[in-house]
Amino acid sequence: MAYNLWYWPTIQGRGEFVRLAMEAAGIDYVDCARQGGSEALIEDMERRQGRTPFAPPYLAIDSMVIAQVANILLFLTDRHDLAPSGIADRYWLHQIQLTISDVVAEVHNVHHPVAVMDYYDGQKAEAARAATQFRNERLPKFLGWFEECIDASPGEWAIDHRWTPVDTSLFQLVEGLRYMFPKRMAAIEGDYPALIATRDRVAAIPGVRDYLKSERRIPFNTDGIFRHYPELDAA
């Protein structure tokens, strides 16, 4: 039975980390709001009672509703055997995934530093300040840590000899950062060869390769998490 994935239909956003893992693993899903639109997503959220998600994305399966990207990926990993199951590997993988969530939140904060519910245009000065420190200090710190994680792997993937949702998430992180900060990424990418090699390996996973060529892959745009505002980028 296919999963019902609910997420905003016009952006990659946080939903993309879920889509990519399912596409890579060949897991059947229906991207519900791509058919019914944002209205259908809002209706679905309002219709639910009891254990409801705080925000999309969420997976609906049987009577369960599973939200929070890292939680969804943990569920899919457990249920579809997408990673080594040893205790040490299990929590190490989730630790990396949660750190990806952290950098994604900081990325969103760059263009919405003082008013997450309002438009970027109303906080451009603050965003410029946030972007400077993100590009110069936070970004190298995060990328350097992911590079060390991959270096510590005994295999060619982030955790061992098979890809996991952490690899597909690192792919998306690199793609998003390249879109948002093309000058900065061009200047520093060379410092993270293992991370970039992981990105390239993920792009060659057959399910991912097919997905990226399909209409299911929504192009990056300035409504998502990663937004290209030229004024926020610099080498």
Query: Site residues (CB under 8 A) for a second copy?
Result: 49-54, 63-64, 66-68, 70-71, 74-75, 87-88, 91-92, 94-95, 98-99, 101-102, 105-106, 109, 113-118, 123, 126, 129-130, 133, 137-138, 142, 145, 148-149, 152
Whose structure tokens read 């939140």?
105
Give the residue from 33, 39, 40, 37 showing the smallest Cα distance to 18: 33
Helix, strand, coil content of the chain in percent (nearest 5): 60, 5, 30
Whichever of 36 and 144 has its CB closer to a second copy, that residue is: 144
Cα(61)–Cα(191) distance, rounded to whole angstroms? Answer: 42
Whichever of 114 and 234 has its CB closer to a second copy, that residue is: 114
Give the residue from 229, 227, 228, 225 showing the smallest Cα distance to 13: 225
Whichever of 91 and 183 has its CB closer to a second copy, that residue is: 91
Beta carbon of residue 56, minimum distance to a second copy (angstroms, whole number): 13
- Ranges assigned E (strand) in 56-191: 58-61, 64-67
Cα(40)–Cα(44) distance, rounded to whole angstroms? Answer: 6
Beta carbon of residue 41, minimum distance to a second copy (angstroms, whole number): 17
Cα(205)–Cα(201) distance, rounded to whole angstroms? Answer: 7
Whichever of 127 and 185 has its CB closer to a second copy, that residue is: 127
Query: Could you count the other beta carbons within 10 Å of the beta carbon of residue 182?
Result: 14
Beta carbon of residue 62, minimum distance to a second copy (angstroms, whole number): 9
Whichever of 11 and 127 has its CB closer to a second copy, that residue is: 127
Give the residue from 35, 37, 3 showing the smallest Cα distance to 19: 3
Beta carbon of residue 216, minimum distance to a second copy (angstroms, whole number): 25
Beta carbon of residue 87, minimum distance to a second copy (angstroms, whole number): 8
Q: 201 CB contacts (<8 Å, ≥6 apart)?
A: 156, 157, 163, 167
Beta carbon of residue 214, minimum distance to a second copy (angstroms, whole number): 29
Whichever of 79 and 216 has its CB closer to a second copy, that residue is: 79
